[in-house]
Amino acid sequence: MKKIHLTLALGMLVTAASAQHNAKKAIPFAEKQTDVMLKAIPQAKEKATKPNVVSPRTLNAAGELVMIPSRDWVSGFFPGELWYLFEYTHDQKWKDAAKTYTAFIEPEQFDKGTHDVGFKIYCSVGNGYRLTKDAHYKDVIIQAAKTLSTRFNPKVGAIKSWDGRKEWPYPVIIDNMMNLELLFEASKLSGDTSFRNIAIKHANTTMKNHFRPDFSSYHVIDYDPETGAAVHKQTHQGYADASAWARGQGWGLYGYTLCYRETKDLRYLKQAEAIAKFIMTNPNMPADKVPYWDFNAPDIPNAPRDASAAAIMASAFYELSTYSKNGKQYRKMADEMTNSLSKNYQAKPGESQGFILLHSTGHKPANSEIDVPISYADYYYLEALLRQDRLEKGKPVLTWQIVN
């Protein structure tokens, strides 16, 4: 008996040590890669075919850096990565770069044409405010929340994701759960509870209509804006309407975890746990825990993976592990995902124009960004590594303390 306990204890020590080792090695690697990227950006900007490009997004078929303007939904992730590097290292060099690249995204606070204002502003300015408490960032967050709120229709009870889709008058995508973090934060900063109320209503409407009995989610629910009825249940980036698009399952897991953090409403915790169960027990989850791009892709095991889905899920699992009675299981899952990414999905040092992770899938049905590096994979990977490291040190996954 004693021997078994000793073996278990040693096993846990080894797991803990390797997890810590992971962040200690992976973050310095991410710093070196980001140095490469910062050097590659000026030339990529010069060669860009689009005007006003500010952030890196992915690589093209020739292996060149694809730069995007701030209006692209991915624009806030690179500044967010720079904030995460600053948070971990306290190196002023990363803070300076983060401030520069965050400033490029700020005009998006006024764009009423997309729900992505949440992704863009919260990953950049939101992290900047969290770590600096700069009053200007606070104003931008509040303005962005006002802008996002204009997309809420009380009849539907949800924020509209996209405009101008003939086939879908009022599409709401599962990804939209991620934008709620901006609204919760803006209510805390401004005292205006309307943002928080919208976030709660959106989360409740999504819980009612986006999920199937097994707690996998549809990608798109299209509502009748006059009656609020859920009219279409379809996909945009997944394999089929009825399939489980991997990144979408990650957005849902992360979204309900953050809703529980902000409200302590047990319905959100239960929802996150049910989504976690779908992911963890899925027979199509590969042994290394980096999902195929869709859990129902027809060509599994030859289907492309989506490293970004693993990174989003890992980060969410770390946070959920601190709220749930299943915490140990979730943390183990997060460690497995993060460690797999570190071991087998990282770029070769100095290569891939400084991207950190390879093997993400952006939009398979459109034949776009398949098996490539993408900046949102790097962002959530860094976030997961930070969370792993903080948990190893016995700290909460998130800090709002000023970093100097």
Three-class SS of residue 67?
Answer: strand
Residue 69 φ/ψ, nearest 5 degrees: -75, 170
Nearer to ligand GLY, 164 or 394 (CB): 164
Q: Write each residue from 298 to 317 as x if it is in contact with ligand GLY (CB under 6 A), else as -, in one continuous string.
A: --------------------
Write the binding mask 226 to 245 for ligand GLY: x where contact by CB under 6 A, - elsewhere: -----------x--------
Q: What is the closest distance, in whole angstroms, from the C-beta atom of residue 362 to ligand GLY in the complex?
A: 6
> Least distance to ligand GLY from the beta carbon of 161, Å?
9
Distance in Å, CB of 361 to ligand GLY, minimum:
9
Residue at token pair 């900046």: 375
The 384-403 contact track toward ligand GLY, x by CB under 6 A, reads --------------------
User: Cβ of residue 19: shortest distance to ligand GLY, in angstroms?
Assistant: 27
Mask of contacts with ligand GLY, 334-373, x by CB under 6 A?
Answer: ----------------------------x-----------
Distance CA 250, CA 89 (A): 27
Residue nearest to ligand GLY (CB): 175
Among 175, 319, 378, 383, binds ligand GLY (CB under 6 A): 175
- Beta carbon of residue 73, minimum distance to ligand GLY (angstroms, whole number): 6
- Please, what is the Cα angle at 75 between 89 and 263, to 5 degrees? 75
Shortest distance (Å) from residue 277 CB to ligand GLY? 22
Residues 6+ apart with CB under 8 A from 221: 171, 172, 206, 209, 210, 230, 232, 233
Instruction: State the Cα–Cα distance between residues 104 and 102, nearest whole angstrom.
Output: 5
Smaller CB distance to ligand GLY: residue 157 or 238? 238
Q: For residues 14-73, which are near ligand GLY according to CB under 6 A?
A: 73
**Tokens 């690179």 belong to which residue?**
78
- Note whether 115 and 151 are within 8 A (CB): yes
Task: Please answer whether residues 366 and 343 qualify as being in contact, where contact means their C-beta atoms are separated by less than 8 angstroms.
Answer: no
Q: Phi and psi for 363 in degrees, rounded to 5?
A: -145, 85
Rounded distance, CA 274 to CA 397, Å?
21
How many residues bind ligand GLY (CB under 6 A)? The answer is 5
222 is catalytic: no
Closest CB to ligand GLY among residues 73, 239: 73
Give residues with Cβ within 8 angstroms of 318, minimum separation 6. Answer: 330, 331, 334, 384, 387, 388, 391, 397
- Residue number, 22 or 249, with CB nearest to ligand GLY: 249
Instruction: Give the residue among 274, 267, 275, 272 at the shortest CA–CA distance from 244.
Output: 275
Q: Locate tokens 């309307």: which residue? A: 194
Catalytic residue at 116? yes
User: 72, 116, 335, 378: which is the annotated catalytic residue?
Assistant: 116
Q: Which residues contact 354 (CB under 8 A, 6 or more apart)?
A: 33, 34, 35, 36, 37, 38, 39, 40, 56
Q: Indicate if the alpha-carbon torsion angle 330, 331, 335, 341 is positive or negative.
A: positive
Q: Which residue, 219 or 390, has its beta carbon nearer to ligand GLY?
A: 219
Strands 171-173 and 158-159: unpaired
247 binds ligand GLY (CB under 6 A): yes
Q: How far is the CB of 312 from ligand GLY (least distance, A)?
A: 9
Among residues 151 and 247, whose Cβ is nearest to ligand GLY? Answer: 247
Report which DSSP code applies to 304. P
Catalytic residue, chosen from 91, 163, 175, 294, is 175
The residues in 67-86 that bind ligand GLY, with binding defined as CB under 6 A, are 73
Which residues form the catalytic set?
Answer: 116, 175
| Interface positions with ligand GLY (CB under 6 A) | 73, 175, 237, 247, 362
